[in-house]
């Protein structure tokens, strides 16, 4: 039965996998449009669970059980629900189950094992960059200690060691997704230790410059790989400091970032929501590709604050509603993840890299938050418990 699409009560259900602050933004974006939203997460204290815009919540820790739950949810609907993925763990789940779930859900074409692994596996990702002539920092792919000894003699320092699958390593190393090293002996010794944690490691030179040199793009591409909503901005601070996710960011029109992102994603025949990240190399003036996420990212609420409704645009297009023109940012947006940004600011102040007055100045003009929203207070109230639960998981339990 096809619902009347002019009636908001008949709008197709949306299902969001992952209810961290990223998923919380997806829930709010859709719920504010009177769309029913069901959320799924393995964490009982995930902040998105407590949003007033969430219709119902399912806690699932097992992939097979999650698949069965999702089939059961969709089977009760007259029309296929629209599926959103807001975390890498669930992308990995979809790599295994998307083909079967496509009988029950509307989802981006790019939710396939091949495409998901291309972006989750950094080895495959950088090979893709090479094939498409995309600039990225000098990167090495060692397979033995002999390789590392050789690399240690030619690479510039500082450099970083990171795994092929960073979302899996983060759980084992208390939230870190990479390790910085500052010399040959340290590189060799850290490799010996970390190779026991992850079998596939990547060594990469660090692009100099502060967090404000990192530029971002967010968008949604339709089934023809044409952008229907686009946004550009930059990070101002990160958490963890220097090598983390954004904790403070602002909108900033950047035609070069826009062109590079759209051009590459068109080449890849991409369909869905994504975010890209580049860092400007001050030595050469060249933008270096850092990563692409084929899902909403943590800072995505800044896109809505800037007048670009990426999530709702994606929903409308996937559900078969008309989308008449590509949305672009209309106003200034500034976003903060306050708890994390405070920790990062303290770190930078303690290391002489940020003046107290400049920190205070940087907090002016904020109109988007990772957690807080005036029309949806409960997630901000529950956040201290969520942070404590995360602390227990990563630190007291060893990040298991």
Q: 310-363 pLDDT, tens per residue?
A: 999 999 999 999 998 899 999 999 999 998 999 899 999 999 999 999 999 999
- Residue 166 pLDDT class (50, 70, 90 cuts): low
DSSP label of 393: I
Using a 10 angstrom Cβ sphere, with 0-12 exposed, 13-18 middle and 19 or more buried, the burial of residue 203 is buried
What's the pLDDT at 383?
Answer: 83
CATH architecture of 211-369: 2-Layer Sandwich (3.30)
Give the β-pairing of 334-336 and 245-251. antiparallel
What's the pLDDT at 133?
Answer: 94
Quote the tokens at residue 215.
């530029």
Q: 296-310 pLDDT, tens per residue?
A: 999 999 999 999 999
Evaluate if residue 190 carries a pLDDT over 80: yes
Q: Quick one: average pLDDT of 88-103? A: 96
Evaluate if residue 83 carries a pLDDT over 70: yes
Please state, for a pLDDT cut of 70, what percent of the chain lies above it: 91
Instruction: Give the integer Cα–Cα distance in Å for 384 and 176.
Output: 21
- pTM > 0.85: yes
Cβ contact 204:191 at 8 Å: no
What's the pLDDT at 400?
Answer: 37
Instruction: Give the integer Cα–Cα distance in Å for 389 and 191.
Output: 31
Question: Residue ranges per domain, the chain?
Answer: 8-119, 138-205, 211-369
**Which CATH topology does 8-119 take?**
Rossmann fold (3.40.50)
**Which CATH topology does 138-205 take?**
Dna Ligase; domain 1 (3.30.1490)
Q: 37-60 pLDDT, tens per residue?
A: 999 999 988 999 999 999 999 999
Q: Compute the mean pLDDT over every residue in the chain, rounded to the nearest whole number.
A: 90
Q: 216-252 pLDDT, tens per residue?
A: 999 999 999 999 999 999 999 999 888 889 999 999 9
* Residues paired with 16 in a beta bridge: 39, 84
- Residue 6 pLDDT class (50, 70, 90 cuts): very low
Q: Quick one: average pLDDT of 277-285? A: 95
**Three-state SS sequence of 140-183:** ECCCCHHHHHHHHCCCCCCEEEEECCHHHHHHHCCCCCCEEECC
What's the pLDDT at 324?
Answer: 85
Give the β-pairing of 227-239 and 245-251. antiparallel
Cα–Cα–Cα angle for 92, 93, 96, rounded to 5 degrees? 95
Evaluate if residue 175 carries a pLDDT over 80: no
What's the pLDDT at 9?
Answer: 54
What's the pLDDT at 173?
Answer: 57
């Amino acid at each position: 039965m096809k619902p009347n699409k002019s009636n908001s009560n008949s709008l197709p259900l949306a299902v969001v996998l992952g209810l961290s602050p990223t998923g919380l933004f997806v829930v709010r974006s859709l719920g504010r449009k009177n769309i029913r939203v069901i959320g799924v997460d393995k964490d009982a204290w995930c902040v998105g669970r407590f949003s007033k815009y969430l219709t119902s919540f399912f806690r699932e820790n097992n992939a097979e059980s999650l698949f069965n739950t999702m089939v059961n949810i969709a089977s009760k609907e007259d029309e296929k629900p629209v599926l959103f993925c807001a975390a890498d763990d669930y992308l990995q789940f979809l790599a295994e189950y998307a083909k079967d779930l496509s009988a029950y859900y509307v989802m981006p074409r790019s939710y396939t094992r091949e495409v998901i692994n291309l972006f989750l596996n950094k080895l495959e990702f950088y090979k893709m960059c090479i094939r498409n002539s995309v600039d990225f920092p000098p990167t090495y792919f060692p397979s033995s200690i002999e390789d590392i000894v050789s690399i240690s003699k030619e690479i510039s320092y500082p450099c970083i060691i990171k795994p092929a699958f960073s979302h899996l390593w983060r759980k084992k190393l208390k939230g870190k997704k990479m390790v910085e090293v500052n010399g040959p002996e340290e590189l060799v010794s850290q490799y010996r230790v970390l190779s026991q944690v992850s079998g596939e490691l990547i060594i990469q030179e660090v692009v100099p410059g502060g967090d404000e040199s990192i530029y971002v793009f967010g968008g949604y591409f339709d089934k023809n790989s044409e952008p229907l909503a686009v946004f550009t901005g930059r990070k101002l601070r990160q958490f963890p400091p220097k090598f983390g996710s954004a904790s403070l960011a602002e909108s900033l029109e950047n035609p070069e970032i826009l062109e590079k992102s759209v051009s590459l994603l068109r080449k890849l025949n991409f369909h869905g929501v994504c975010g890209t990240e580049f860092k400007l190399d001050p030595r050469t003036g060249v933008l270096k590709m850092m990563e692409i996420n084929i899902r909403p990212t943590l800072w995505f609420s800044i896109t809505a604050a800037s007048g670009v409704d990426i999530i709702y645009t994606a929903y409308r297009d996937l559900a078969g509603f008309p989308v008449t023109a590509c949305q672009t940012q209309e106003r200034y947006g500034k976003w903060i993840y306050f708890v994390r940004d405070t920790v990062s600011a303290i770190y930078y102040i303690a290391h002489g890299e940020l003046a107290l007055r400049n920190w205070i100045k940087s907090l002016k003009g904020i109109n988007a938050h990772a957690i807080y929203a005036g029309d949806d207070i409960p997630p901000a109230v529950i956040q201290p418990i969520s942070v404590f639960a995360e602390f227990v998981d990563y630190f007291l339990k060893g990040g298991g």
